[in-house]
């Protein structure tokens, strides 16, 4: 049977219905932290400073949805499509209780207002599909996501990522070593550290109580190369990190505007 090669093709939109009902309320904040091309690329970058309001209705709703998903053992978790636009905008991180979602195989975070993902995502042992697509304020991910050994498929908005191959935007500058007498690791400024607290080493899972070592590492997670923030307890743990993805900065690094990145992928 002959076919018309010029006939329009219809593609399935797998993200249809991925967010809650539309309304006059704004569901997320706009972000142009990095620019969108080599021509609009910013000279430097910094972490989002947003701190989660734990009294917000959206946060309380998300906690309930996580408890429900953990209780019924569902395999797909798409909490933001069960929240109003106003509630979605109130959520800038996921709670540590996502560690309870050990049966979830697909995590859908389409079009959210998230600025960070907690390290507890590493406890989602059955996670296979990770879709934070069009969550444009997510510029990086925790190193702990590499513990999701079954994660094989991901969909991220590449241009929103630090160091992405499309136009190599900068990484925020990190402090390579910070002693416990220089900062309270349980009460940190997320605009400086990328977290409000660091208690556990992302490499050895030991306590971070004497020193905090932070580095960036670009690694393939699922089908994407992600900029991963490593919070380590020692220089030995930093030295134990795997090699970065080929075509990216070839060693763990501390970012900053003077970092030299590969020009080509």
**For range 94-103, the mean pLDDT:** 98
**For range 72-80, the mean pLDDT:** 97
Q: Which pLDDT score is estimated for 21? A: 64
What does the block give as tokens for 200?
């556990």
Question: Strand, coil or helix: what is 220?
Answer: strand
**For range 130-146, the mean pLDDT:** 98
Say if residues 247 and 209 touch (Cβ distance below 8 Å): no
Domain boundaries defined on the chain: 57-239
Q: Which pLDDT score is estimated for 196? A: 97
Say if residues 35 and 167 touch (Cβ distance below 8 Å): yes
* Strands, E assignment, 27-175: 76-77, 106-108, 129-131, 141-142, 153-154
Residue 2, C-beta contacts closer than 8 angstroms, at least 6 positions apart: none
What value, to the nearest 5°, has the Cα angle with vertex 42 and ends 36 and 47? 95
Q: How far apart are CA 30 and CA 109, in angstroms?
A: 16
Q: Which pLDDT score is estimated for 163? A: 97
Other Cβ atoms within 10 Å of 258 Cβ, number: 8
Say if residues 160 and 31 touch (Cβ distance below 8 Å): yes
Other Cβ atoms within 10 Å of 140 Cβ, number: 24
**For range 81-108, the mean pLDDT:** 97
φ and ψ at residue 237, rounded to 5 degrees: -70, -35
φ and ψ at residue 211, rounded to 5 degrees: -140, 150
Model confidence over 209-257: pLDDT tens digits?
A: 999 999 999 999 999 999 999 999 999 999 999 999 999 999 999 999 9
Q: How far apart are CA 219 and CA 60, in angstroms?
A: 33
Model confidence over 183-196: pLDDT tens digits?
A: 999 999 999 999 99
Q: Which pLDDT score is estimated for 258? A: 97
- Give the percent of the chain with pLDDT over 70: 91
Model confidence over 202-213: pLDDT tens digits?
A: 999 999 999 999
Question: Strand, coil or helix: what is 82?
Answer: helix
Say if residues 218 and 245 touch (Cβ distance below 8 Å): yes
Q: How far apart are CA 232 and CA 142, in angstroms?
A: 12
Say if residues 106 and 81 touch (Cβ distance below 8 Å): no
**For range 96-117, the mean pLDDT:** 98
Q: Which pLDDT score is estimated for 263? A: 85
Q: Which pLDDT score is estimated for 20? A: 67
Nearest to 214 by CA among 177, 246, 264: 177
Q: How far apart are CA 115 and CA 79, in angstroms?
A: 16
Q: How confident is the model at residue 264 (pLDDT cuts 50, 70, 90)?
A: low
């Amino acid at each position: 049977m002959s076919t018309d090669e010029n006939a329009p093709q219809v593609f399935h939109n797998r993200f249809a219905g991925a967010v809650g009902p539309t309304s006059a309320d704004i569901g997320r904040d706009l972000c142009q932290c990095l620019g969108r091309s080599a021509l609009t690329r910013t000279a430097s970058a910094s972490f989002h400073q947003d701190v989660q309001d734990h009294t917000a209705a959206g946060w309380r709703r998300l906690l309930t949805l996580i408890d429900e998903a953990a209780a019924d053992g569902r395999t797909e978790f798409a909490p933001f499509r069960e929240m109003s636009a106003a509630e979605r905008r109130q959520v800038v991180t996921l709670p540590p209780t996502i560690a309870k979602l050990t049966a979830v195989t697909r995590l859908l975070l389409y079009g959210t207002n998230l600025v960070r993902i907690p390290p507890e995502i590493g406890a989602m042992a059955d996670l296979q599909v990770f879709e934070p697509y069009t969550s444009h304020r997510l510029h990086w991910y925790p190193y702990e996501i590499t513990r999701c050994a079954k994660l094989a498929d991901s969909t991220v908005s590449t241009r929103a990522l630090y160091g992405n191959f499309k136009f190599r935007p900068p990484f925020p500058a990190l402090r390579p070593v910070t002693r416990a007498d220089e900062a309270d690791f349980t009460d940190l400024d997320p605009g400086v550290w990328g977290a409000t607290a660091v208690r556990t080493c992302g490499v050895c899972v030991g306590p971070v109580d004497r020193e905090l070592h932070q580095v960036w590492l670009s690694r393939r997670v699922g089908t994407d190369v992600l900029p991963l923030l490593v919070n380590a307890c020692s220089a030995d743990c930093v030295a134990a990190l795997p090699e970065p993805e080929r075509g990216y900065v070839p060693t763990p690094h501390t970012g900053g505007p003077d970092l030299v990145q590969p020009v080509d992928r």
